């Protein structure tokens, strides 16, 4: 066994099948408000903090509202979706509970604080996390390492003693830059580019494959 003592989950794309929902909500809002949506917009915004992506929607997509107004409206629509149906990945609660038996748990997410708290509360998982961090609470969103470093700080664990679980290119880059071991579950709808995926220590197909051995480093790297 290595010195891994903590696991830091991403939320969107790892526990929650929600990346496409963010895409749909933002694209819908862009069309409603006369914005210039383009094919790379969602990939560009994956991992950005709320301040960063709302500025992107204003500056690049061309929405006339302020970034603060854009952020509030997108979050309102996402919360309404979650209230209708919480899109947890199959096996997500079980994976969290399984790993909580062996490691301290943190969460480092680009979602807004209100969405993080409502999702974990609705899923019955809030009490299993020793620390949760929204990228709106740090200086820079992913791919900068800030949100993962802050999660490790709040857990009281060195980053090198943490394994991060990520799905996106920017998320993998962020966790790697923080000095964490990285388990990647590539997002099926928005797969990470090969150069980002190559930074992962282990690549798996689903949460069911995220074992204690994979987290701790007792399994070989699989980049197939």
Structure confidence by residue, pLDDT tens digits, 7-52: 999 999 999 999 899 999 999 999 999 999 998 898 889 888 898 9
Helix (H) or strand (E) holding 130: none
Q: What is the pLDDT of residue 88?
A: 97
The arithmetic mean of pLDDT across residues 51-77, rounded, is 96
Look at residue 218 in the predicted model and tell me its pLDDT: 59
**What is the structure's pLDDT at 43?**
83
Token representation of residue 202: 């282990």
* pTM, 2 dp: 0.90
Q: How far apart are the first and last CA of the chain?
A: 24
Q: Which domains does the chain have, with CATH numbers?
A: 6-17+87-216 (3.40.50.1000), 19-84 (1.10.150.240)
Looking at the annotation, which residues are catalytic? 10, 12
Q: What is the pLDDT of residues 67-113, one digit of tens each?
A: 999 999 999 999 999 999 999 999 999 999 999 999 999 999 999 99
CA distance 46 to 19: 8
What value does the mean pLDDT take over residues 185-194? 92
Question: Distances from the Cα of 138 to the Cαs of 34, 35, 66, 152, in angstroms?
Answer: 31, 28, 21, 13
Give the per-residue pLDDT at 2.
54
Query: What are the residue ranges of helices labelled H in 128-211?
Result: 146-155, 169-177, 194-197
Residue 92 has what pLDDT? Answer: 97
- Say if residue 140's pLDDT is above 60: yes
For residues 116 and 132, the answer to whether their CB atoms sit within 8 Å is yes
């Amino acid at each position: 066994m290595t010195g891994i003592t903590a696991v830091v989950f991403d939320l969107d794309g790892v526990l929650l099948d929600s990346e496409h929902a963010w895409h749909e909500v933002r694209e819908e809002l862009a069309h409603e408000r006369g914005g210039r949506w383009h094919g790379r917009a969602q990939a560009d915004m994956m991992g950005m903090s709320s301040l960063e992506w709302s500025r992107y929607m204003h500056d690049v997509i061309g929405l006339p509202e302020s970034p603060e107004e854009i952020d509030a409206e997108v979050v309102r629509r996402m919360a309404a979706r979650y209230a209708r149906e919480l899109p947890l990945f199959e096996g997500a609660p079980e994976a969290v509970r399984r790993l909580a038996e062996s490691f301290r748990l943190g969460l480092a997410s680009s979602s807004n604080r209100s969405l993080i708290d409502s999702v974990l509360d609705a899923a019955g998982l809030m009490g299993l996390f020793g620390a949760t961090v929204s990228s709106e609470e740090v200086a820079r969103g992913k791919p900068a390492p800030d949100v993962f470093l802050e999660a490790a700080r709040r857990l009281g664990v060195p980053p090198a003693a943490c394994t991060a679980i990520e799905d996106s290119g920017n998320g993998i880059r962020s966790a790697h830059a923080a000095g964490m071991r990285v388990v990647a579950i590539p997002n099926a709808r928005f797969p990470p580019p090969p150069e980002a995926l190559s930074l992962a220590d282990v690549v798996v197909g689903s949460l069911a494959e995220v074992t204690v051995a994979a987290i701790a480093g007792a399994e070989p790297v699989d980049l197939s």
